[in-house]
A and B are shown apart, each in its own frame.
Chain A
């Protein structure tokens, strides 16, 4: 036993100079003081030592243990000092701080909101669970009219539904506020459409509404061009095509010159040079009437766009489902 203790003590001495870094110290601790370490093993053999020698051997073992611990303590202290005392290795990496990121849809949405706030619009919001009145009726969607087929609707009951567009917030704003009104309404909307790479059953819209005296299509076109140039770049052009939305008249689709190819044609714009991103029009007199605004005194314009499609175009995302999978490695890219 004496012999064994002396041997281990020598091993301690020879291993001591190697205690120059954390891993070595830890390996040293496990080798000698760990549950299966050599010192611990000696303690276990203590039972086999004759009774009369046990006190003596026990003391030797305790000394050995203390010696090992002392070496560890000294090396650890030296470690801590070494960072300060010896010349620091500045190539070591900094301690990582990982910020979270905003979801790409929030990034795009915020950017749009900031542009419109700069142009004098307030942000308004409304519920996602809506009444038929706000989502359709007040927006001049007649009952039993094919216009209702334009938007596949999720129903909760006969009256309640998941809003199919952010337009019901237009009605809520006009109910709670007298003109002049200048609002934008960002939010989540729902359509009962099969999920694929190109379409999802919910998406985000940003809609704008301005009601005042003497508002005309010229004002609408002006604000849309201002937005397009802020968002897509100063060279951007816009083109309006007549279209149909029940709540605006006249209505138009707005094409924006492709910011990737500058109108020359590329894959993203399907070689047309134009991107279809926006719908707009003058607020239909029926909508103003539904909100007790006199269409002879006031006129207004409204516009709306889908955030998700614009975000996909901007970041080159080819599958809309990626936006909803929330894979950390995807989200960290924005």
Chain B
């Protein structure tokens, strides 16, 4: 294990990868005392307090949450402190506000709404009241760590339909684009689940006359092409399965596009 060879003391990755490392360690017969790691900084996807406790126990570390946005500075927008109760926003660089996503009005402190950032010292790529689409809450309270920077809670959801799968942002419209580019109707459903701490990503597509042929090898080739195109578009692999027409659940005539079974 690299962490041992290099005597690494801090691990930075997605929480699901950290959980995976913990499991692998157990399988290989290593305990938390066998590795030099002291702390972990985990972000880019949603994770729960239970998952934090689990990672802390198996790796023998303190696990901290981190929040960032590629458009602002990447990681480094907000970090958890030793109190592990919300992330301090680096207010000397970013002004944070919570707005009502519908009216765009700024909401008072402690309200749940969409997080908006203004970058104070960014050059060449200014950001003024940039809407993150992340739904969350800001509180300015005296922290036990002594810092006075405003704290943000873990994002609770999105104001748009973006999904985060294996740490990658996925919009249902991207799947639609791939289907349309291949000349198929966009009758699809995304099913996301988490199995053994890893997100599973299934795209179910209803068969159309354009996709169908009497040649089973050709249909499989079209299925593979969709999978390859999705990988090229999203950067992560999806399992594409073909369903009978009209088999995707519809609610009030509209197909249900996303089924997220992950329990976080």
Answer yes or no: are A and B bound together in one complex.
no
A binding-site residues for B, Cβ under 8 Å: none
